[in-house]
Every structure is written in structure tokens, then in C-alpha cells.
Amino acid sequence: MDLGLRGRTAVVAGGSRGIGRAVAEQLATEGCRVAVLARTASDLAEAEADFIAAGAMDAIGLQCDLLDTGEVEAAFSFLDDRWGELNVLVHAAGPAHLGGTSELSDNEWLDAFDSGVITLVRCVRAGLPLLRKASFGRVVSVASSMIRHQSPGLIAWTAAKSALASATKNLSRELAGESIVVNTVCPGMVMTSAIEGYLADADLRGLPEGPLEAAYAAIERDFHSPNDIGRIGLPEEVAALVVFLCSELASYVVGATIPVDGGSDFF
């Protein structure tokens, strides 16, 4: 299926690793001009080369701290000069703090909401003038299926993702009249570097041998996050839906909150 994205312009905030990286790679494969915003210079340099090899018409890695309003505004100002418009903004950044109520400090709570929600607000605020210049605009945020299946051991992370989904829904209502379509994708547990790090310290004895199945069993045991398929997902499985929502074909999917979680009690 031709998604009609060739030559379109796309920014992925948090696009150097995990789901964001998979989204950026698939946008590159579609022939987009792709920019990723992230903090680590080495990851960005590698991403640029990979995206060009995948078919991107232009690829830019912009070193940017999404917690810094000035840096975010500078990144979008650079893209305004380079491209003059923006078709797609994907927000794939998120909080990193795990733990229960008594384990997290006030600063860790504040950081969870800053990195998980306010980063979206900064990017949308800075990107809106470019989105309004384009022939069509799409915004997709990456939240989590845990917003409907709570885990006390992920209390700040889940709360921030819930707030992200709510903010995205409100953005959808605000921007729909301008033909800027906004949606949220809610992955289940996905094999990212964060999950790999967790599994490196987890007790895997007696678990299934397949890496995705073993990871699923460990996460279900420790965080009570079941699904119907019996494994965790891959970043590219989530990215496929995100990229579709970035296309003109998704023009009637507006303000949706869509699970990609292997089957769960999301609805």
C-alpha cells in the first residue's frame, strides 16, 4: 500500500531508540524527509546514516533536550528554515522512573510528567506554525496500554502516560478544525532497550526459552500485564500503526486512542 508519504516532512521526538527509532525508520522507508530529536549525538549520527540508506529523501539528527523549551524551539526553527513546513509530528519520548508510591521522590514524579507530557506540549507548540503551513498535518503520541491496566509498581510512569493520552485527545479536539489530525497509540510491553535492561537483572529461571516469551512471562510475573498472544511486542509492530496514522489515508481516524498490545482488556 502506498501511504503517499514520499517527500513529506516528519519529526520524531525521541526518535533515536526504541519505538521512536522504528517509527523514524519506517517513515524513511516511505521516502519521507525525517528529523529525529534526541540527546545523544552518537545515536543521532548513526540514525541519519540508517535513514538515508532506508530511502529517506532527507535525514537530520538534531541534538535536543526535550526538557529545555529553548532547545525545542531552536530545533523547529532550524526545520522551518530547512523545510518550510511540517506534515508529521510523532512524540515517542517518555518517562523512565519505575517504582511505587514510597519509592519515588517528588523530583522523580515531576520529571515523569515533564518528560512524559510537557515534552509533547513543547513540541506541539513549537511545531504548530510548520504544521499549519503544510497541505496536511498529523500528530501522533505514543502512550501505553497501561493507562487502562494499572500497575502500582509503575505508578508515576502510568500516571504520566495517562496524562499524555488526555492531552493528546484535547489537542485533537483543538486542531481538528484546522485539518491537523491527532491520535494516540498505546503499546503494550515492547522489547526496547529499557525492557532489555530490566530483563538483564530479572530472574529468568523457569521461564519460556523464546526471548519474547520469556520477557512476557517475567513482566507478567512482576508487573501483572497480561496479553492474549503470550509474548511482548517488537518496536516495528507498533511503528506500523503509527506510520499509517501519519498518512493522508488516516484522515477519518481522529482523536483515537488505539491499543497495540497483543490483546488485552483495554476496552
Residue 23 identity (one-letter amino acid) = V
What is the C-alpha to C-alpha distance for residues 187 and 234, in angstroms, rounded to an integer?
10
In this predicted model, what pLDDT tens digit does every residue of 154-206 receive, in sequence order?
Answer: 898 899 999 999 999 999 999 999 999 999 999 998 988 777 777 777 777 77
Residues 120, 63 contacting (CB under 8 angstroms): no
In this predicted model, what pLDDT tens digit does every residue of 203-222 receive, in sequence order?
Answer: 777 778 778 888 888 888 87
Reported pTM: 0.93
- Give the model's pLDDT for residue 74: 98
- Give the model's pLDDT for residue 267: 64
The helix-helix angle for 18-29 and 41-54 (nearest 10°) equals: 30
What is the C-alpha to C-alpha distance for residues 140 and 211, in angstroms, rounded to an integer?
29
Residues 127, 120 contacting (CB under 8 angstroms): no
Length of the chain: 267
Cα–Cα distances in Å, from 79 out to 6, 32, 73, 75, 205?
A: 18, 14, 10, 6, 49
Which regions of the chain carry the CATH code 3.40.50.720? 9-188+234-259
Query: For 9-188+234-259, which CATH class?
Result: alpha beta
Q: What is the mean pLDDT of residues 51-60?
A: 96
